[in-house]
Structure formats: C-alpha cells, structure tokens
Chain A
C-alpha cells in the first residue's frame, strides 16, 4: 500500500468517486486548473473536464447555493470551501437551506452533498486561517459532521460522504495534512497506509488508540482531528508517569460514537475531552455533558476539558493558544489523581 498524506487521500477519494459516478462534480475557488490551494483536487479537471470540476467565482454563498440546486436535481456535488474561516458567507445557505431541505419539504427534497473544508490552527495562519467552527455546524440538525485525523479515515469518510443520503460537512485538519506533527510525514504511520480503490469508513464509529503496552485502564481521552495526535503524544508521556491512557478519536461528530466513549469511561471512571476550538460551547462540552449524564455512577473524577481559549484565534502566540501535549498531560494527571 502506498503511503499517502491526507491531501493525497482526499484527492484519491474524489478521483475514485468521479470515475465511478458521472454525477459527482467538484466545485470551489481555485479547485480546477490550479488543483486547489492545498492541492487536494490536483489532476481532477484534467481528467474530468471543467464542466465537472468547476472553478467558481469568489463567492461561497454562490458555491453552496448552486451546489444545493445541483443536488436537488440529482448531481452529487462535492464543494470545497478554501478555508473554513471563509464559510460564513455561505452560512445561511448551509444552515437554513441545506440542513433543512429534507425536513421542510416533508422528505420530498433531500439534498445530499458534501462540503469539504480545511480547519484548525497550527500553520501560522492567524485569525482567519485557523478557526475551528465545527461545533457551530454540529449544532444545526440535518447536517452530518465529520473530522478525520489521518489519511486512512480522510479517504474512507469522504467516500462514505459522497454516497450518503444526507448533507455531510468534512472538516479536514490542515495542520496534519502532510504529517501527524510538524516536520513529520505520514510515511510509516499505520494510518498513512491507504488502500487502493474504494473503501468506506462509516459515520459514528470512533477509533481507540493506546500506547504500545497500554490497556487503557487509567484515563479516557476523547478528541478528534489534529488534536488526536496531541493526545497521543500526551498518552505516551503519561505512560512514563505510569498512567495507562486510552485515546478515542471520534472521527465523526454528528453522529458521534456515544457507546464507545461511555463504555470506555465506565471502565476508567476518568475522562478528558480535548478540542482546539474555544471552550464555550465547543464540541468537548457536548461530550462532557453526555458523559456526565450517562456515566455518572462510574465517574471517579470530574470530566476535564482541554480547549483553546475563549478568544479569537491569535497569530504570533498560537502555540500558547493551541492545546499541546503538556496541557493534555496536566489534565490527564488531574483526572488520574483526583481523589
């Protein structure tokens, strides 16, 4: 199996989907001739032509609005929003139209389409190239929301999305596009091994990860997307402390794998949830609340949260804003040693 990075995995999934189904079209800013500013659509316009791989005008509302019309009439649009920070001109189309089409038309007009968008910080993008708005969209019923952390899942979830019956938003962690950490690549990482051809990763199924000798008896750490790798590094550090930590990568947020998380927490009695978005109403809050409801009798410590600050995203001091392994480790220790 060839090692892929997340971008190549996305490109591969799109190519497979477009070869298999002439109804799949790709549209967005700079996706055609240029192949996307992150290169995720490279080669698609050459292979499928500019009627199916559309360089749109600079207008996100128009991109999503036209994609909705296409989906209503049987196409399978895959939209790219260049940065999730720039999704808001399309917010009305997504929230009031896309999310509610099936419901408000009494089931007559389902609107399955895919919106891919890079999100998250750690690339020195400052304010407007770093935000994590996934919880904003998870809040709106009618949308499926996924956030892969690695090439294998990125391809499998995208192929699942292209075949889904509902609109799907794929938040792609641009910080780990090319490798699980700065200066690394996906070569040698088990999830950088991407099988050729089509396969799907189902929505709502989380993945468990433990350090090599771990069995996950001490603390359950829940996260998704780029933060999964931060949590894994924290788990390795915790191992040196004698703390046996398990990391759960949610992979999809709507629906999310409540069973996997809650059965793990019932085992450990201790839980830390990590997201890089701001704290207030971040997705970690949803997980923590659910764990509180469903695992109350098993909990041995308060559910901890490690998140970005309740501020807009900074530029120069982003390394202080973003949760890092040390911060996650602190929270793991607090949970583990809570008496």
Chain B
C-alpha cells in the first residue's frame, strides 16, 4: 500500500485519552462478547490508523461521545472538536428518529396481525444510519437484515418501505415475493435483501471488483457489504474476506468496505458462541484486511470510522472490515421471545446506552437542538408514518402475473400456460383469489 492510499485523520485525532486500562490484552478468555462496563464507562481507543498492522484497533473500541452525549476527548484540531459537522449529525439524527418511529409502529402492526413479520433495528439506528451516511449515493449497499434505514436515509420514499412490509401491489422491493423487510432499490443502489445469511458478503466483493474495473481510482464508487455477528460464522463470510484480500484490480485494493453490526445475538445464540476470537474485527488480520472496532451506539464514532474506511477504499487502499459493537435490545424478530434465553436486566443496561438519546443530547449541547426539538422530531416522524400507513394499507395485493414474471427475462411458454390455467380457474371461482 502506498502512502497516498493511506487514510489518516488530522494528527490531533491520534492522541486520544484512554480512560480504560490499556496494556496487553489478557489472552485467556474470548473477548468477543464486549464488556458492558467499558461501554458504560465510555473511554475510547485511538482512532484506527487504517493500516493492516494496527491490530490494536481490532480490540479497542473507538468512541467520540459518552452515553450522555458529552464529548470524550474534544479535539481542537477537528471541526466542532468531534470531526463531524452539525448538519451531518442532524441529518443522521432525523433518520434515526424516523427509523425508531417506524420500527415501533411496525412492531405494533405485526402484533395486530396486519403484517406478517418484522425485523426491527431498535438500538442499532446509529450503527445503521451513520454507516449509510458515510456513503455517496453512487455507492452500493449489499445489506443484511437491519439496514433498511439506509435506504430511507438515501431518500427512498417511506411509501415504498411500507409497501414492502405489506408485500402489496406497490412493493417494488420484491413484488410480494419475500417476507417484510426485504427492501431493495436499483435506483438507490441498495441490493434487495435475501433471507439467507451471509450470501451478500462475497457478492459485495464482486460488486466492488466490477466498480474497480469500470472506474478509475481515486474517484470511484464504493461498495458497502453488511453482515450480522451470527452470519460471520457462515462459509460465505470466509469466502468474502479471502477474496477481498487477494483481489487487486488494476493493482489497487478493492473499493469495498465490509461492515458488521455486532449486536451480540443471533436469535438465541450469543456472539461468544459464534467465535472464540478476541473480537470479530480481529478476523480481518487473517485475510490481510484492515480491521477496526467502533462503538455502534455512537453515531459520530461510526461516521468517523466509516468515512475513513470509505475514503481509503475509494482511493485504492486495503479494504477494511469494520465491527460496530451494538446490542439487539429487542427480540430477533416478531416471532422470537428473548426472555427464554437471555437476561433482560443486561438488555436494560444496553438500552440505557441509546444511540438516539446520545446524539440528541450532543446536538443539544451544540445548541443545534433546543429543548422539545427531539420530542417534536419523534412526533412528526410518527405522524408521517401513520399517515402514510393509512394510505399504503389500502393498496391491494399484487396482480397474479407477478407470480410468473421475473422468473426469467421472458415468461417461458410452460409458465405462461400455468398462468393462463390459474386465470381460468380464478375466473370460474373468483373466491379463490383471496385464499381460504
């Protein structure tokens, strides 16, 4: 790697205050389950140097804000002492609040049986939205289950988001073919989610390769691959990191950022049962990638680290694998009951580290928000969701043609015959169209 491809923050950012004990890491026990105390006490590791040798960044967790929104180590060399402009912080907060309102509403809807399933990102809004905010619109996203908010942040209409949850005739994500939450938009460069764990990860590598062949560095689009902690155990994860390390189109690193939201649970399985490694970020080293760890509940920290990773990738540096440590404060999905397998007292402590509260408090100290603003934002978001919902819910089911379209570019003759047989049957017995 050349110096020009190495991303460094302004020097001031490299001299952080380390409030938690440094020194050699105790190797005895797997540390993959992050220590809650550290998150509550909120020291910070140094800003990652974005060089493969920086293995400390794979264990230390980088933070900008304390849980109460105060800045851990204000740096006069950086804009606002945090390295994040107020406009950026505010834009992220707006979407985070919107996603929270949406998740709350949709969970309620699911309980009433109005939608079939929902996977919320509650508590992970910073990890999601700040990662998305680090991208440009021309950059692509290969998402995992909980990144739908990135699409909204990019300007995708709420209407489309909700239609995907109903699988109705306005569902452009999957045309009523997948369960709710499998968002996708070609226009917004967000690849439709598959339920199958980890498959998107090697695909993100390939997308980045194609970008590199068709655009010259340093001005080229970047691909963001997303994954959950559980899915890092899949073979596809290993395949992706292997390829990401060795593929060097035009002699440069791929325009790729591999991102992982470690929310510490995969349904009932805790992250320490997924890996005995000291962290997920550590895995990067074995593949020759850059690894770094960031507090996923700190939007500013995620943005800083992801911006650096994206800039490095755009310029042709070694791709990074970034672990955002967060917590799944809710159930895995609406068909899950976490009280059966985990201590919800711990969940409550993570809940107290709420990313929205943290960012809103920070913006209040900056004078960007005045008292009442955050609440108003939440109410407005909920109003918008409710009003849109009322309309989207009226949209009917997809036409029966959508059963047969898109299997191939053209509907084959045999399939067309199946479609006509179905049409004839429905014409003879219209009741069947609505199911029994």
Contacts and interface: CB of A to CB of B under 8 A. Distances in A.
Interface of A: 29-30, 33-35, 37, 55, 57-62, 85-86, 88-89, 124-129, 279, 309-317, 319-321, 324, 326-327, 330
B177 A55 contact: no
B418 A309 contact: yes
Contacts, number: 135
A85 B196 contact: yes
A233 to B, nearest CB: 10
A86 B266 CA distance: 15
Given A57-B233, A58-B197, A324-B432, A314 B403 contact: yes
A124 B179 CA distance: 7
Given A62-B233, A128-B194, A317 B403 contact: yes
A309 B436 CA distance: 19
Interface in B395-417: 397-398, 400, 402-404, 407, 414-415
Contact of B274 (A57, A61, A124, A315): A57
B410 to A, nearest CB: 14
B371 interface: no
A311 B178 contact: no
Given A86-B197, A89-B234, A57 B275 contact: yes
Contacts of B407: 310-312
B269 A58 contact: yes
A241 to B, nearest CB: 15
Nearest to B274: A57
A147 to B, nearest CB: 22
Interface string B422-436: 100110010011111
B412 to A, nearest CB: 8
Given A89-B235, A326-B432, A128 B267 contact: no
Contacts of B176: 314-317
Interface residues of B, number: 52
Contacts of B177: 126-127, 312-316
A58 B403 contact: no
B403 A311 contact: yes
A37 B171 CA distance: 28
Given A126-B179, A320-B433, A309 B234 contact: no
A320 B422 contact: yes
A319 B435 contact: yes
A128 B171 CA distance: 17
Contacts of A320: 400, 403, 422, 426, 432-433, 435
Given A55-B273, A311-B407, 6 more contacts: A124-B179, A126-B167, A126-B195, A128-B194, A314-B403, A315-B176
Contacts of B267: 29-30, 34, 37
B179 A129 contact: yes
A34 B335 CA distance: 13
Given A86-B196, A317-B398, A320-B403, A58 B234 contact: yes
A127 B415 contact: no
Given A311-B415, A316-B398, A321-B403, A128 B196 contact: yes
Nearest to A233: B436
